[in-house]
Amino acid sequence: MNAMIGDSVTVRESKSEPQALTGKKRSKSTSKFPDVSFPSTEAEAQATELLSKLESWDFDAIELDRVSGGNALYLVSKALFAKYRFGSKYYIGESMISRFCLEVQKGYHNKENPYHNSVHAADVLQCLNYFIVMCGITKYLTEFDVFAAVIAAMVHDIQHPGLSNSFQIARQAEMAIIYNDRSVLENFH
């Protein structure tokens, strides 16, 4: 099964391992992103170049999202899972990682929310990585702390409605009622 992300890029969903995502044996692919179909080799090359800056303050999450057809969070998440080898450390299969990253990305309301969306989450995730690497805080963190921080950055605004606490309270939204009109969005997250 495939899920369309953006206008021209498809992220394939599957319970099988990545080489069998389409149900067919894959010929030797030169793609660094076998589970993302880019509109062109130029777009894939641009994504590769942008992802090479994950440890730079010059990283451009908006441009990565544009060239990848709306897959910035997915690509940054997968890159950091690979960099920190979370799969092998915590016995998580590659297909499970792919599925998790896709589901997180799908949990953001990109069309309805111009700020608290998956591009913002990709940017926050990259900034977290930047600070971990550049500030040397790994000497104060366990590997599991880094894993937890990466997951937290990925999901920190998932399902954010894009409307303020005051708006939620004034319209008597379900979440305002649940949290008794107190720090509605903060309690939601």
Nearest residue to 157 via CA among 100, 73, 97? 73
Cβ atoms of residues 154 and 123 within 8 Å: no
Q: How far apart are CA 123 and CA 182, in angstroms?
A: 28
Place of tokens 């990709």: 122
Q: Containing H/E element for 91?
A: none
109, 116, 120, 156: the catalytic one is 116
Q: Is 160 a catalytic residue?
A: no
Q: How far apart are CA 188 and CA 181, in angstroms?
A: 11
Q: How far apart are CA 102 and CA 14, in angstroms?
A: 11
Question: Which phi and psi angles does 17 have, rounded to 5°?
Answer: -70, 155
The percent of the chain in helix, strand and coil, each rounded to the nearest 5, is 55, 5, 40
In the chain the first and final C-alpha atoms are separated, in Å, by 30
Catalytic residues: 116
